[in-house]
Amino acid sequence: MKLQSLESNMSSGRKLFRLGNTINSIDAAKRTLVLSDPILRCCLTVANLSRALYFICDNVLWARNIGLVRDINKERWSLNATRYYFVSLVMNLTRDVYMMAQLMVQRSRDRCYQQKLHQHLNENPDVACVVVPQLDALVFLLIECLKSNPAVALDTVKNLCDLFSPLDRLGVYQTNAGVVGFCGLLSSLLGILSVLKPQLKIKP
Amino acid sequence: METWVRFNSQSQAKERLCRAAQYACTLLGYTLQKGGAGADLLMTVKQLESHMSLTRKLMRLGNSAEAVESAKRAVHLSDSVLRLCITVAHLNKAMYFACDNVLWAGKTGLLPKLDQDKWSQRSFRYYLFALILSLTRDAYEIGLLMERESRCCGSAKASLSSTPVALTPENGDLPTTPSSSASPSPPPLLIPTIPSLPMLSLRLRKQVRLLAVVLRSNPPLLLDLLKNLCDIVIPLDRLGLYPTGNGFVGACGLASSVLSILTILHPWLKLKP
């Protein structure tokens, strides 16, 4: 009971804290509209607009919690907020996958990397390498790219962790409060890390 | 520690906005009550105010450590009066934030058996001490600046009065009585008398003018003084030392929040150290 009351307190405190974030998201959407890459431009602008809509729903829910507005359907607004949040997460993940693919293509063309790959494939006596060398090469490339681009890796993990909460609430993939809580905590810690170390923040 | 302070300062601007909103609610509640508004509306405004207050307490959970860090930095100041005032003010603020954190735990239900009134009074007392020390620091800085200003003015006036004598040496007149042309010189031996009322009012007017000049040429000091004067109304009312009423407290709280938002928007307006 104590923890539930603390959680609801923190939640309503966060809602108040986020009252200005709609404008932040619209501003971010305006900035991503001028990106040169069309796929990044599409993904990020849609993600930011969706996030802005999520914040608007969140602000209305805060007003309802406080008692400033009384006659609104809390369930409907909450569901809409979750849907918009889900769309923005999916768009962000698409952008992560696209960036990772671009990095992998770039890396595979690099001569030093090709030497490394050759060395790895020849040295390793595992059965799997011999049977499916292409898969092993792909996994090796993926791991190399993730290691050399921590910002993209961090953002991908963060978005994946964030995804569990709307998936559970929308009923698409129901887990339980434990999984949602753990993933939420992990993604918050990763978010704090990207604020503390600006080089870990993904750009654009 | 530096990382934490930098991280924490990003939420301070929002905390100031929340404070402005909280005191605006206090003022609004008072105005609505005087205007005879319905109990429903008053209840909503009161709920909004307490929600803002609780959220601010949540936002300030790390401020105790920040105040202790500021006190550690202030210990190295060269001026002894400033060093004392600022260090002790920061330490009092750290104690105020610690009491505030305990109150937050009590209000959210983490410590249900907490005596909230006692801790509230304790926190306001620390806040009052911190404000008194800040006002002492302001008064000290104003005193220093006024002294410097009057010395500058005095030396400027003295140089002005001596130039007519220097300009006419060919007259052969020795500058024994330089002010003879200006006004009759006073007798060398003065019997100490109580200054008359017009003289006192003249001196007072001169001091007030000097104060106005000093404050006008130091906007950070003026802002800090006004902010502390507005802030001190709150603990004086809440501790029952000088009750003024919710309306005045709300207005002063709102004014001081707006002034502190100004110092965040324009960092040159922040009083240093």
Structural domain boundaries, residue B263: 2-156+201-269
**B106, part of any domain:** yes
Q: Can you tell me the distance from the alpha carbon of A108 to that of A114, in angstroms, rounded to the nearest whole number?
A: 7
**B32, part of any domain:** yes
**B7, part of any domain:** yes
Structure tokens at B209: 């003018």
Rounded to two decimals, the pTM is 0.78
B14 with A17: Cβ contact below 8 A: yes
Q: Across residues A190-204, what is the average pLDDT? A: 89
**Which of B6, B41, B55, B101 to probe by mutation at the A interface, max A CB count within 10 Å?**
B55
> Which range has the top average pLDDT, A5-9, A27-31, B13-17?
A27-31
**B179, part of any domain:** no
Q: Which run of H or of E encompasses A176?
A: none
Q: Which run of H or of E encompasses A146?
A: helix A133-148
CB A88 within 8 A of CB A54: yes
Reported as half-sphere exposure (CB side, CA atoms, 13 A), residue A6 has a value of: 10
User: Which residue ranges of chain B lie beneath pLDDT 50?
Assistant: 165-169, 171-183
**B102, part of any domain:** yes
Please state the three-class secondary structure of B198-264 as a single string.
HHHHHHHHHHHHHHHHHHHCCHHHHHHHHHHHHHHHHHHHHCCCCCCCHHHHHHHHHHHHHHHHHHH
**Token pair 């005596």: residue:** B115
**Token pair 């991280």: residue:** B7
Residues of B with CB under 8 A from a CB of A: 3, 7, 10-11, 14, 18, 43-44, 47-48, 51-52, 54-55, 58-59, 108-110, 112
Name chain B contacts of A10, Cβ cutoff 8 Å.
58
Distance from CA of residue B44 to its chain's centroid? 33
> What ipTM was reported for this prediction?
0.73
Residue from the list B10, B55, B112 with its beta carbon closest to the beta carbon of A13: B55
pLDDT digits (tens, 9 = 90+) for B87-141: 999 999 999 999 999 999 998 888 888 899 999 999 999 999 999 999 999 999 9
**B189, part of any domain:** no
Name chain A contacts of B14, Cβ cutoff 8 Å.
17, 20
Q: Is A6 on the interface with B (CB under 8 A)?
A: yes
**B166, part of any domain:** no
**B92, part of any domain:** yes
Determine phi and psi for A125, rounding to 5 degrees.
Answer: -90, 10
A67 with B48: Cβ contact below 8 A: yes
Q: Is A21 on the interface with B (CB under 8 A)?
A: no
Reported as half-sphere exposure (CB side, CA atoms, 13 A), residue A193 has a value of: 15
- The count of structural domains within chain B is 1
Q: Is A20 on the interface with B (CB under 8 A)?
A: yes
Buried b (16+ CB within 10 A) or exposed e, A65-99: bbeeeeeeeeeebbebbbbbbbbbbbbbbbbbeeb
- pLDDT of A71 > 90? The answer is no
Residue from the list A10, A68, A195 with its beta carbon closest to the beta carbon of B48: A68
